[in-house]
A and B are shown apart, each in its own frame.
Chain A
Amino acid sequence: MDLGGINPAILIASLMVASTPILLAALGELVVEKSGVLNLGVEGMMITGAICGFAAAVETGSPALGFAAAAVGGAAMALVFGVLTQILLSNQVATGLALTLFGLGLSALIGQGYGGVRPPGTGKLDLGPLGDLPVLGRILFSHDPMVYLSLALVAAVWAFLRYTRAGLVLRAVGESHDAAHALGYRVIAIRLAAIAFGGACAGLGGAYLSLIRVPQWTEGMTAGAGWIALAIVVFAQWRAWGVLLGAYLFGGVTVLQLNLQAAGAAIPVELLSASPYLVTILVLVIMSSDRRRAALGAPASLGRSFHASA
C-alpha cells in the first residue's frame, strides 16, 4: 500500500520514533509546570542529557547505563535551576534561558572527542509473534524499549496527577503556593522534586536523540526540540494525554514533510522544513483563542516565585 511513494505503516512507525524525544521532554515539563514552576531550560537539559548519555554509553558499552547517565545529567542541570529559582529566588524566565545557553556550551565541551564516534546499538524489544503481525506488527510492536517506556510514562504521569495524594499535593502547590504553605505542605521541596523529575525526563529525551534516533553526537543536535516541548505543554493544556497527542502530531508532520521531500513533492523544500513549526504555531494560536478556557488549564501559580512570608 503506497500513497505517492509513502507507506503509511512505515510513516506511523517512524513518527513514533521521531516524537519520542519531544514526548519525554514535554512530559517532564508538564510535571514541572503543574507544580507552578516555569523552566525554560528544557533545551539545555536535553542537550546535556544527550551528551551525558552518549558518553556513558560509549565508555561502558551499555545503552541502558547511557540512558541512566542521561537522566542523572538532566536532573543535575535542572537542580541548578531549582536551587537558583526556588532557594535563591532568581527570576524563572531569565534563569531558564541561561540554563539553555549553559547546557549548549557545557555539552559542546563534554562532547569534544565524541564527534564521529558510533554509540553501541539499542536493540528492538522482541515481542515474539506480535512483531510478525501484518501492518500492526510493523507499527506497534517493532520498536526499541524507550518508545514503550515513554508511553508507559504518559500513563504513569496521568495516573499520578489524577489518582494519588502526592499528585494532588503537587497540583495544589502549582495552583496556590500560599494556600499549600498555610496547610503545611513543603512548597519548595515539592517543587525541587518536580524540577528534578522534569530534568531527568528531558535528559532521557536528549539521549534518545543521540543514542537511537540519529545515532551519533553533533553539537547543538537537539536543534530546538526543547522549545517545541515547551510549546506542546501549552498545546496540551497541561494534560498528560494531550502531551502525547501534541508530540505525535508534531512528530507526524516532521516525518511527513521528510517523506514528501524524499518523494519529490512539488512544494518548496524550505516551506516543507518549516511546516512542523508553522503547524505548531497555528495550533497554539487556535488553542489559546478562547482565553478563558486556556486560563482554566494553566496552573494559577505558574512562574511565580514563592517566599514563605512571616
Chain B
Amino acid sequence: MLLDLRGLTKAYPGVVANDDVSFSVGAGRIHALLGENGAGKSTLVKMIYGLVRPDAGAMQFDGADYAPASPHEARRRGVAMVFQHFSLFEALDVAENVALGMEDPPKPRQLARRIREVSEAYGLPLDPARRVGTLSAGERQRVEIIRCLLQDPKLLIMDEPTSVLTPQEVDILFRTLRQLAAEGTAILYISHKLEEIRTLCDGATILRLGKVVADCTPSERSARELAELMVGETLQVPQRQPREGGAVALELRNLSLTPRSPFGTALKEISLTLKEGEILGIGGVAGNGQDELLAALSGEAPTSPAAVQLKGAPVGQLGPDARRRRGLLTAPEERLGHAAAPDMSLTENALLTAMVRERLERRGFLRWGAAKGFAEQVIDRFDVRTPGPGVAARALSGGNLQKFVIGREILQRPEVLVVNQPTWGVDASAAAAIRQALLDLADNGTAVICISQDLDELLEISDRFAALNEGRLSAPRLAQGLTVDEIGLMMGGAHDMEAVHDAGAIHAG
C-alpha cells in the first residue's frame, strides 16, 4: 500500500472532525473519499498534506512512517494536492503560480518550457505568461494540476475538482487522471458527485460526522445507495408538476453591462423573456457573467431603463429597494457578506431585505417585533436549524443559512425571484428542500430564474434552460429531453481543446 492511515483522530473545540479514521490507497489506484459537508473530508486531507497535525493515529507513506510537519515536507515526500478553493494568486501569472507551489522551481525560462511540455503531454494546454485572473475556472484548475504534475507526485489529492467544470472539461480531466493512474500515481479523489465517482474510482471510503461508515467499490453501488450512506437517511426527491406559462413577467432586452471589478465579465446583449410560473435555469461555468447578471437584475448595477422590464414597465434604472417594492427579488451566491451580513442577527438580516415588502419600518423607525416575527416565520417554514432569530448569521452552517436566505425572499411573495447557486455547498437534504421550495413557488405563479453550475439541479427543476458563456446568453431551450452533451456545447464546450488532447495523448502514449 502506498498510503496507509491508521486511527487518525482530530478534534476541534466542540467538534470531532475525524474520529478513528483508517483506510489505505494503493499505487495506481483512484480512491474516492465521500461525505457531506462537515463530514471531515477536508480535515483529513489537510492532515495528509501537512497543514493540520492529527491528535492521534499514524500514517505510513511509501513504506515508511509519515508525519509531515508542513506542506513543504509533504511535497518533498511526493504528495501533491489540488485545492477545492483554488490556491491561486489572481494578480500573478501562470508560471509564477506554478513556481510558488514547487519546492525548488527551475529558472523562469526553463519553467515556462516545462509548463508547455507537460501541459500538452496531458492535453491541458496553458500559456505560462497569462495572468491567472484572466483565466476561466477550468483553466485555473489546469494551473493547479500542472503545478502538481511538474513534481512527479506519487500521490495526488484532488478536493472537489469538478464543481466548476463543463461536462467536456470533466471528460478531459478524467482522461488525464486515468493516464496518471496508469503511470502508477495514486489519486485520492474527494467529491460529492456520485455518478462521477461511480465511473472514475476503484474504491471509496465514506465518511459521516468524522467516522468511516463504509468502504465499498463504487461501481457496484447505485448513486442512491451511496447518497444514503453519506446522509444516513432516505432522500426525498423534489416533485414537479408540468406547468403552463402565464403572462410575461420579466423581459431583458439587449442588456449589456461593464463589470466593476478588474477580473469581472462584461455582459453582452442579453435578451430573454420569462413567464409567470416558469423556472428558467441558467447554467455556465463560474466567471462567465453570473455575478454580473445577478447584479443587473437585483439593481446593484443599474442599466438603461428599457433593458430590464418587469411586467412591461422599465426598471433598469431603479435600485434594489425600488425593484423589491415592485416584486423583483434576488438571492445572490455569496451567503456570508453578500446575501447576509455575517455579524448581524437573523432578525437584522431579515430586516435588510424584507423591510420594504413586509412593512418592517414605520416613518423611518424599525418595527423590531414584526421583524423578529418574520425571521421566526422563515426559520419555522424552512426548517432552519438555529437556537433562534437572535443568532448571528455567521454562526449558522452553510446549508442552514442558505435555507434562511432563500426562505426570506420566498416568504416576501415575489413576482420574480432570481437565485444564484441556491444549493452551493449545501448538504443533500437541505438542497432537496430548497429545490422543492423553488418548485412550489413557481406553482403559485412566481417567475423564477435559477443561476447554477449544478446541471443536475437545473435539469431537475427548470422548464427551460439557457447557458452563459463569456457574458453571452444562449437561446433558451426546453429543459425536457436536453442531454448533458448538448448542454456542454451550449456552455461553450471545452474551449476547443478536444483536438489538442487527442494529439497529446498519442504523443505521451
Is B341 interfacial (CB 8 A cutoff)? no
Within 8 A of A (CB), among B69-96: 70-72, 75, 83, 85-92, 96
Residues on A with beta carbons closer than 8 Å to the beta carbon of B101: 183
Q: Judging by beta carbons under 8 Å apart, are B71 and A182 in contact? A: yes
Residues on A with beta carbons closer than 8 Å to the beta carbon of B70: 184
Closest CB in chain A relative to B374 CB, distance in Å:
33
Residues on A with beta carbons closer than 8 Å to the beta carbon of B260: 291-292
Residues on A with beta carbons closer than 8 Å to the beta carbon of B262: 292-293, 295-296
Within 8 A of A (CB), among B30-78: 43, 50-52, 70-72, 75
Residues on B with beta carbons closer than 8 Å to the beta carbon of A293: 262
Assess A179 versus B92: contact at CB under 8 Å? Given A172-B100, A184-B72, A310-B43: no
Assess A184 versus B50: contact at CB under 8 Å? Given A175-B90, A175-B91: yes
Is A176 interfacial (CB 8 A cutoff)? yes
- Annotate B328-356 by CB proximity to A: 1 below 8 A, 0 otherwise: 00000000000000000000000000000
Q: Judging by beta carbons under 8 Å apart, are A310 and B100 in contact? A: no
Residues on B with beta carbons closer than 8 Å to the beta carbon of A183: 71, 87, 100-101
Closest CB in chain B relative to A53 CB, distance in Å:
36
Is B493 interfacial (CB 8 A cutoff)? no
Q: Judging by beta carbons under 8 Å apart, are A175 and B12 in contact? A: no
Residues on A with beta carbons closer than 8 Å to the beta carbon of B99: 165, 168
Bound form: Cα–Cα A179–B86 in Å: 7
Bound form: Cα–Cα A175–B263 in Å: 14
Q: Judging by beta carbons under 8 Å apart, are B71 and A176 in contact? A: no
Q: Which of A176, A184, A185, A310 has the most CB of B within 10 A?
A: A184
Q: Judging by beta carbons under 8 Å apart, are A175 and B83 in contact? A: no
Closest CB in chain B relative to A177 CB, distance in Å:
10
Residues on B with beta carbons closer than 8 Å to the beta carbon of A65: none
Is B105 interfacial (CB 8 A cutoff)? yes
Assess A182 versus B51: contact at CB under 8 Å? Given A172-B92, A175-B89, A310-B43: yes
Is A12 interfacial (CB 8 A cutoff)? no
Bound form: Cα–Cα A300–B261 in Å: 12
Is A283 interfacial (CB 8 A cutoff)? no
Q: Judging by beta carbons under 8 Å apart, are B72 and A176 in contact? A: no
Bound form: Cα–Cα A178–B89 in Å: 10
Q: Judging by beta carbons under 8 Å apart, are A176 and B89 in contact? A: yes
- Which residue in A169, A179, A296 is a CB contact (below 8 Å) of B87? A179
Q: Interface size of B by Cβ–Cβ distance < 8 Å?
A: 27
Residues on A with beta carbons closer than 8 Å to the beta carbon of B91: 171, 175, 296, 299-300
Closest CB in chain A relative to B243 CB, distance in Å:
42
- Which residue in B43, B50, B90, B261 is a CB contact (below 8 Å) of A176? B90
Residues on B with beta carbons closer than 8 Å to the beta carbon of A172: 89, 92, 96, 100
Closest CB in chain B relative to A179 CB, distance in Å:
4
Closest CB in chain B relative to A82 CB, distance in Å:
22
Assess A169 versus B89: contact at CB under 8 Å? Given A184-B50, A184-B72: no
Bound form: Cα–Cα A202–B27 in Å: 55
Q: Judging by beta carbons under 8 Å apart, are A175 and B72 in contact? A: no
- Which residue in B12, B87, B105 is a CB contact (below 8 Å) of A310? B12
Closest CB in chain B relative to A75 CB, distance in Å:
27
Q: Which chain A residue shows the least CB distance to B12?
A: A310
Q: Which chain B residue shows the least CB distance to A296?
A: B262
Q: Judging by beta carbons under 8 Å apart, are B89 and A179 in contact? A: yes
Residues on A with beta carbons closer than 8 Å to the beta carbon of B17: 310
- Which residue in B87, B92, B96 is a CB contact (below 8 Å) of A182? B87
Bound form: Cα–Cα A179–B85 in Å: 9
Within 8 A of B (CB), among A285-301: 291-293, 295-296, 299-300
- Which residue in A182, A185, A310 is a CB contact (below 8 Å) of B83? A182
Residues on A with beta carbons closer than 8 Å to the beta carbon of B86: 179
Bound form: Cα–Cα A178–B87 in Å: 8
Assess A184 versus B89: contact at CB under 8 Å? Given A165-B105, A295-B262: no
Q: Which chain A residue shows the least CB distance to B68?
A: A184
Bound form: Cα–Cα A300–B132 in Å: 13
Bound form: Cα–Cα A183–B72 in Å: 8
Within 8 A of B (CB), among A179-232: 179-180, 182-185
Bound form: Cα–Cα A295–B83 in Å: 26
Residues on A with beta carbons closer than 8 Å to the beta carbon of B90: 175-176, 300
Bound form: Cα–Cα A165–B75 in Å: 18
Residues on B with beta carbons closer than 8 Å to the beta carbon of A171: 89, 91-92
Bound form: Cα–Cα A244–B88 in Å: 31
Q: Which chain A residue shows the least CB distance to B69?
A: A184
Residues on B with beta carbons closer than 8 Å to the beta carbon of A175: 89-92
Q: Which of B12, B51, B83, B91 has the most CB of A within 10 A?
A: B91
Residues on B with beta carbons closer than 8 Å to the beta carbon of A299: 91
Residues of A whose CB lies within 8 Å of any CB of B are: 165, 168-169, 171-172, 175-176, 178-180, 182-185, 291-293, 295-296, 299-300, 310
15 additional contacts, CB 8 Å, given A179-B83, A184-B72, A292-B261?
Answer: A165-B99, A172-B89, A176-B87, A176-B89, A179-B86, A179-B89, A180-B89, A183-B71, A184-B50, A184-B51, A184-B71, A184-B75, A292-B262, A310-B12, A310-B43
16 contacts between A and B (CB under 8 A): A168-B96, A168-B99, A171-B89, A172-B89, A175-B89, A176-B88, A178-B87, A179-B89, A180-B100, A182-B71, A182-B83, A184-B71, A184-B75, A291-B260, A293-B262, A295-B261
